Amino acid sequence: MYSNKIEGPRRGRSFDSMNIGFEEKLLNNEINKSTFTKIEENSEKNAPQKGRATIIFSLKNEVGGLVKALKLFQENHVNLVHIESRKSKRRNSEFEIFVDCDSNHEQLNEIIQLLRKHVNVVDMEPPDNSCLQEEDMYNVPWFPKKISDLDKCANRVLMYGSELDADHPGFKDNVYRKRRKYFADLAMAYKHGDPIPRIEFTEEEVKTWGVVYRELNKLYPTHACREYLKNLPLLSKYCECREDNIPQLEDVSRFLRERTGFTIRPVAGYLSPRDFLAGLAFRVFHCTQYVRHSSDPLYTPEPDTCHELLGHVPLLAEPSFAQFSQEIGLASLGASDDSVQKLATCYFFTVEFGLCKQEGQLRAYGAGLLSSISELKHALSGNARIMPFDPKVTSKQECIITTFQDVYFVSDSFEEAKVKMREFAKTIKRPFTVRYNPYTQSVDVLKDTPSINSVVEELRHELDIVGDALSRLNKQLGV
């Protein structure tokens, strides 16, 4: 709980008992520009135990760097107890900031990961209530714990957004570039809980969408998997997905929420694998809202709304596929960079370019195939190289985004792929596992006996419900 009292962090004397010089005056000036909310002590019995932690960091050469750094403590609900400045022991031209705070290991780990973007962390001392298990968590990369935490990573766009490469079809089209900036600004301003802005698409955008929609629908009956064919008409029924109309993301998000619990979040462009997969863990799909350039409707160097709506959405409405996608996301939380890359590669060759067998025929379920006329034909032509999906093998395959894939991976069903991915996820080295809580839209970190016991109690309750249902069914059947 927050206190209504607002106060700045207190400042002590320098470590070296120096007189206040220019650096310390600068520190005071920057601190006075910002206020920090004092966090009251949480008296709940099950709250994480806190202790006094120390962080020492030096500022990078950027204006307002200290204010940015200290605001991170406020935003993450960490109470600053003491703050000082001192001459750097490494470089006389720099000064270091010493921060004393009330923190548990989880908060400390989170704040360190965020601080590294703005400062150079010199040293740190964990809370004095540390234990071996908490120390194991110390080097785990930051990851969102609740769905609103996605606000912290959804705007870290790596490619495109409002900026286009020189070889992009719309690079020289100033009108298109201005339109792209409009979409990027909408996505950047979006926060969890906001309604997704409704777009008035231009006549040219609708025409481009129409060409893609019409040509792909000619191939779907003979190339798409049965789950896709079952759900595509529902998108037309509930979201007005037609050749002459581009569905609104807010309508699509509402449709998916009712079908599988997935929701849509607008995004400006490419995210890192870690940030994108983190969204899937919360059943959130980061979705672009812009349309590809009209000069070549059947080609796009990046995901656009044609790819998202025609490629991904119909299968995100399928419960087994939705769970498969979420489990890849959950496996990525807190994993190493190498493990995240392997998971992202498996995602690429399944959710984006996956094939399955149905009635003895190859069918596509990957969104990259189902939104690309030429590659969809190629993958099922009989000339493409096909291999059985095996995460250990697939995770080492090179992902190609400029031409057709060298190889495609096939599964007998989503369930088979899901089982294989679960076993693969168990090989990822983490000092914990995670479980999604749909009631609070958060992830429970299972790393000790109390957290595991809590899950066991919930499972007992669920099994009791199942037992009661079976008992009533047996009575009806006279068993």
Is 352 one of the catalytic residues?
Answer: yes
The residue behind tokens 């900031």 is: 97
Is 105 one of the catalytic residues?
Answer: no
Catalytic residue among 24, 30, 312, 372: 312
Rounded to whole angstroms, how far apart are CA atoms 116 and 118?
A: 5
The residue behind tokens 């050749």 is: 243
Phi, psi (deg, nearest 5) at residue 221: -55, -30
Catalytic residue among 253, 352, 375, 442: 352
Is 312 one of the catalytic residues?
Answer: yes
The 10 Å CB-count burial string (b at 16+, else e) for 173-200 is beebbebbeebbebbeebebeeebeebe
Rounded to whole angstroms, how far apart are CA atoms 35 and 137?
A: 31
Catalytic residue among 96, 286, 307, 325: 307
- Do 219 and 374 touch, CB atoms closer than 8 A? no
Residue 136, H or E segment: helix 132-137
Give the residue among 447, 367, 144 at the shortest CA–CA distance from 274: 144
Is 96 one of the catalytic residues?
Answer: no
- H helical segments located in 21-126: 22-32, 65-75, 105-115
Give the residue among 141, 151, 89 at the shortest CA–CA distance from 116: 141
Other beta carbons within 10 angstroms of residue 83's beta carbon come to 21
Catalytic residue among 253, 325, 332, 371: 371
Rounded to whole angstroms, how far apart are CA atoms 251 and 257?
A: 10
Other beta carbons within 10 angstroms of residue 349's beta carbon come to 24
Active centre residues (catalytic): 307, 312, 352, 371
